[in-house]
Structure formats: C-alpha cells, structure tokens
Amino acid sequence: MKPTQQLHNIGQRLWLDNISRELLTSGTLRRYIDELSVTGLTSNPTIFDNAISKGAFYDESIRQKILAGKSGEALFLELALEDVTQAADLFRPIHDATGGIDGWVSLEVSPLLANDTAGTIEAAIQLYARANRPNLFIKIPGTRAGISAIEKVIFAGVPVNVTLLFSREHYIAAAEAYMRGIERRIASGLNPDVNSVASIFVSRWDAAVKEKIQPDLSNRLGIAIAMRTYKAYRDVLASPRWQTLANCGARPQRLLWASTGTKDPDASDILYVEAPTAPDTINTLPEKTLLAFADHGKVNGVLPVDGGPAESVLAEFTEKGINDETLAADLQREGTEAFAKSWNDLMACIKAKSDLLTKGNSSMPAHGPAR
C-alpha cells in the first residue's frame, strides 16, 4: 500500500499546495487524485504568480480578457476563478461522496486586505458567490483584522480556510472566531453546517531560527509547535462549547498543516509530512513533497493528543533565547508581507503579459519568486 493511502486510512487527508492550468489540462491533478490519494487543493498568490508567468498556458485567456476590457486585478481574478472552479469540479465527486467533509479547493482574498476587516468580508463573500461552487474555501489570513472578518464571513455562510497561523494562540483565535460565527448562525435560526479549516505553518519556524541555534536543535521547533497546537485542537473539540455546537449540527474546524516543504537541504525532504501525522487533520503539500512522500514516505504513528514532548522541547528553545510568542508574531507579519509582495509581483506579471500579448508577442520570459 502506498504511504499516501496509509495516511488517508488513518484519517489524515493530503491536499496539493499548487494549481496551474497545465496541472489541470494535462491530467496530472486527476492522476494525483486517482493514484496518490489527493483529496483537495490549496492556492496562494505566489502559486498563481509562478503558474501565470511561466509558459503560454494562460496567454489565450488573457488575450480574450484584454479584448473584453479587463486588466490588472479584475483580469487575474477571472483567470484564478477559471482554474479554481475547474479544480473544484474535479474534486466534486469526493466532496459529494464524503458528505462535504473533503474535496475542497481554496482561493485567497487579496493579501493587500490583510489589515482591512470590511474589505476582507466584502471580497470573501463576492469571490464565493462568483465561483458558485459549494466546495470552495475562501482563504483569509489570521491577522487581527482577518480574525474579525472570519466571524462575519462564517456567519454569512461562506466556508473559510484561515491561513497564516503560526502558533497555538493563533489557532485558538481562529477557532474562537469560527465558533462565534456558528453560534450567531444558530441564534439566527440558520444552518450551522459551514465548513472551515485552520492552517498552521510549520517549516517556517525552523527556517527562522536556523542561524540562531545549535545543530542539536535543528528542525525541531516547527514540529514542537505542531504538537502543542494539535493538543489545543483536541482540547477545543472536547470542550463543552464545541460539543454544544456539534449537537446542533456544526462541523469541526479541522487543523491543516501548511508550509510543509522542507527548506533545510540537510533535513529529510518529507520531514513535515511524516512528523505531524494525525487523524482528523490535513497536510497540504507542495508537488515535490507529495511525490517524495509517495516514493519513500513512512507512516510511523500519530501525534499524541496530550502534546507529548512539545513543552519540554520548547523549553530548550526558550533557554536559548527563542521567544516563541514573539517569533510567531514576526512570522505572521513576514508571511503577510511576503504574500503582499507576491500579489504585487503577480499584478506586474499580468501587466507585462498583457502588454506583450497586445503587441502580438505570446512569449514571455519566466518570472516570479522561487517558492
């Protein structure tokens, strides 16, 4: 049995952290679904920047949109919605077969709205309506403004993938925002069945401290944070508050491991797949990491629900001067800034492509930041 199927069998879902028109039209995504137990997909501005800037897969669609008077962000959102709705349709049989638990795709609101609650709410509701797919998550960052938006977007009935979470405290804030939205729906006589996932970024912790620690602590911080957060996740699901909502028909906001590609060339290329194995969670993988795990991954047990050695490991980092609360805030801010830069790069890419195509030149040199 393939290791990807083994993970699926213990209750962890594998989603692909990538989307491109080539991936969709070549049959590659279909193959990953059929052969590697992939049951969902996530996207972000960097992914779209890489997809659109490389090759000519989007050129004809861009030409048509230019002729229709579209440019900039409006043009990009049409391209993104074309890809995301095609992917959603591909995953729809899984979504239907699992009663809406699985088979999801994610599309992010503009990261330029990260500190704009009202703008985020409006964009999320509009994107979900335009896509018109029941298995679409709208990604909203877990910034202070984003957390305020999440409650209102959930209340509006829009499924949400809370992104850019880095710590137990970030996760708890997202979980509470989700529950407040569900509680408001119940109080208003609305259906509480609105899905959500909370995305914890893992590998960036280890990249952030690599130059500040001794080798014996390398690549241990991200997993310790994951263990601590998984305990908090289980505590939320066991709480009387959640049980009340579940009894009314609400679904758990599942924990999702993001940023699971290994950044340290000296570490295992599947470190952040094998280590955070746990039922009722999701791991969204870069394509390279997915293929590596399918080739030589192993399932060696699951995360302990009590957090295991997380606190003792984190204490070692504290002794070395690493303040995880401060670092979590820094990582979220840096992640928000990185996605904003990718968004601006994406808009520049769209403009450059549009300028070339209107001149009759369908070629364009590769562009975009490395992931």
Token pair 């620690």 is at which residue?
A: 213
Q: How far is CA 368 from the centre of its chain?
A: 20
Per this entry, what is the length of the chain? Answer: 371
**Catalytic annotation present for 139:** yes
Give 104's Cβ-side CA count (13 Å radius). Answer: 29
Q: How far is CA 128 from the centre of its chain?
A: 16
Q: Are 103 and 39 in contact (CB under 8 A)?
A: yes
Secondary structure element (H or E) that encloses residue 148, with its range: helix 144-155
Q: Residue 97 is which amino acid?
A: A
Catalytic residue of the set 139, 152, 231, 353: 139
Contacts of residue 156, Cβ cutoff 8 Å, sequence gap at least 6: 121, 125
What is the pairing mode between strands 12-17 and 38-42?
parallel
CA distance 142 to 149: 9
CA distance 23 to 245: 39
Q: Are 299 and 277 in contact (CB under 8 A)?
A: yes
Q: 90 — phi, psi (to 5°)? A: -65, -35
User: How much of the chain is helix, strand and coil, in % rounded to 5?
Assistant: 55, 10, 30
Which token pair is 31? Answer: 């193959």
- Over its C-alpha atoms, the chain yields an Rg (Å, rounded) of 20
CA distance 363 to 62: 13
227: nearest Cα among 297, 304, 283: 304
Q: What do you get for the CA distance between the two ends of the chain, in Å?
A: 31
What residues are labeled active site?
A: 139
